């Protein structure tokens, strides 16, 4: 692990509203589906370099802009697939940017980059968040702990996210000898669907979603093998882990419902729930009020890189960024640019607060 990712005597520059919006549009116009983030990462690094700030791409492709470690501003560069024509639409309520990644999470990413240039805060744009979080995993393995972390995801400009469920992926696989379809013996597809139904029933509850384990099949393949001698099936399943539940408990329950086949498991991400009473959370409430907002606190049913930072580092972690998260991964993804402007201002105030307290 490096001693620090911070840098002394960082030069700061004011960034105009127009220049901040130009950065956002440039990032959204540059495709960066997970695994193909490099061009977008280079454009992001160039923004820092134009403002006299050191920036580099590390071994996994993260954009590292060392600064004051009183706070680390970090968001992800990658997006899910899906082409949405990029345009700025003029509406009666203001300008709206359409495009893949405008909300998840290039709006937060660009707002953090601007705030980092204006305040001197440390910044990292990470890769791979939408799949295996390889960028965040590399960061916590290689980087020293900062004094605080703000993770960039859409929360709305006046809200702060303090909780996420964890994540566990598994692949169920089964193969059985083929029999005539008129016989009652279960084939591989029936074994797979039966296992999935039993597991979903085991985790069924009337509790709020944030407090529940949810089971979601995301890919299914099955049928007669090419040689005609067996049927086989695989199901890729994602589990969301609420606070108070562990990945080990979910694995044990899922495997107890096997009557054939087996499950292979991915690396889990633990749930996280931060206190609203930290200095970081208070700084956000003060900043939102200063910009004319009424701050709120959120708990999200998904998972983010904030889970990994909270598990690895003993410092305050919160998640913030402009955008309506209902547009995450959606075919009509879009971001209100006035909201983006307010988020830049809030992040600047929070970063200044954290850097002053870190002196």
Q: Is the peptide bond before 192 cis (omega within 30 degrees of 0)?
A: no
Q: How far apart are the first and last CA of the chain?
A: 23
124-150 residue pLDDT tens: 999 999 999 999 999 999 999 999 999
pLDDT for the residue numbered 5: 78
Angle at 300 between CA 298 and CA 304, to 5 degrees: 115
Cα 340 from Cα 271, distance rounded (Å):
28
HSE-up (13 A, CA, CB side) for residue 67 = 31
Domain 166-265 has what CATH class? Answer: alpha beta
3-state secondary structure of 221: strand
Query: Tokens representing 278?
Result: 């930290």
Cα 18 from Cα 260, distance rounded (Å):
60
HSE-up (13 A, CA, CB side) for residue 218 = 12
Strands (E), the chain: 56-57, 63-65, 68-76, 87-91, 94-98, 121-126, 149-152, 159-164, 166-177, 214-224, 230-241, 262-265, 272-273, 296-300, 317-320, 334-336
| CATH number, span 17-164+272-358 | 3.40.630.10
CB contact at 8 A, 113 and 125:
yes
What's the sign of the alpha-carbon dihedral 41, 103, 307, 293? positive
pTM: 0.92
HSE-up (13 A, CA, CB side) for residue 283 = 26
Query: Tokens representing 162?
Result: 């303090």
**What are the residue ranges spanned by the domains of the chain?**
17-164+272-358, 166-265
pLDDT for the residue numbered 1: 43
Cα 98 from Cα 87, distance rounded (Å):
5
Catalytic residues: 78, 129
Q: Which residue has the tokens 């820092």?
A: 48
Q: Which residue ranges in the chain fall short of pLDDT 70?
A: 1-4, 6-8, 180
Buried b (16+ CB within 10 A) or exposed e, 158-195: bbbbbbbbbbbbbebebbbebeeeeeeebbbbbbbbeb
CB contact at 8 A, 97 and 75:
no
Cα 147 from Cα 214, distance rounded (Å):
33
């Amino acid at each position: 692990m490096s001693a620090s990712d911070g840098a002394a005597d960082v030069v700061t520059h004011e960034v105009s509203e127009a220049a901040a919006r130009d950065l956002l549009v440039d990032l959204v116009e540059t495709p960066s589906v997970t695994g193909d983030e490099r061009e977008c990462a280079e454009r992001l690094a160039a923004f820092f370099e134009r403002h006299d700030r050191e920036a580099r791409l590390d071994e996994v492709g993260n954009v590292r802009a060392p600064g004051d470690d009183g706070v680390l501003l970090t968001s992800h560069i990658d997006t899910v697939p899906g082409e949405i024509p990029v345009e700025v639409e003029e509406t009666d309520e203001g300008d709206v940017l359409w495009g893949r990644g405008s909300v998840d999470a290039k709006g937060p990413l660009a707002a953090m980059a601007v705030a980092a240039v204006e305040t001197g805060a440390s910044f990292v744009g990470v890769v791979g968040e939408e799949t295996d979080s390889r960028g965040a995993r590399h960061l916590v393995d290689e980087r020293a702990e900062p004094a605080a972390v703000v993770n960039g995801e859409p929360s709305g400009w006046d809200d702060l996210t303090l909780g996420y469920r964890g994540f566990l992926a598994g692949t169920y696989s089964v193969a059985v000898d083929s029999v005539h379809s008129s016989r009652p013996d279960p084939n591989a597809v029936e074994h797979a669907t039966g296992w999935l139904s039993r597991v979903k029933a085991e985790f069924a509850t009337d509790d709020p979603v944030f407090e529940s384990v949810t089971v979601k099949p995301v890919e299914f393949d099955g049928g007669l093998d090419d040689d005609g001698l067996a049927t086989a099936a695989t199901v890729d399943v994602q589990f969301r882990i609420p606070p108070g539940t562990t990945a080990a408990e979910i694995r044990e329950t899922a495997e107890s419902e096997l009557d054939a086949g087996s499950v292979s498991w991915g690396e889990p991400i633990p749930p996280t729930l931060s206190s609203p009473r930290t200095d970081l959370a208070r700084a956000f409430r003060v900043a939102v009020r200063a910009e004319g907002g009424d701050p709120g606190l959120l708990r999200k049913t998904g998972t983010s890189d904030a889970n990994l930072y909270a598990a690895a580092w003993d410092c305050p972690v919160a998640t913030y960024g402009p955008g309506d998260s209902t547009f995450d991964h959606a075919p009509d993804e879009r971001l209100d640019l006035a909201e983006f402007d307010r988020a830049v201002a809030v992040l600047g105030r929070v970063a200044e607060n954290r850097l002053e307290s870190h002196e």
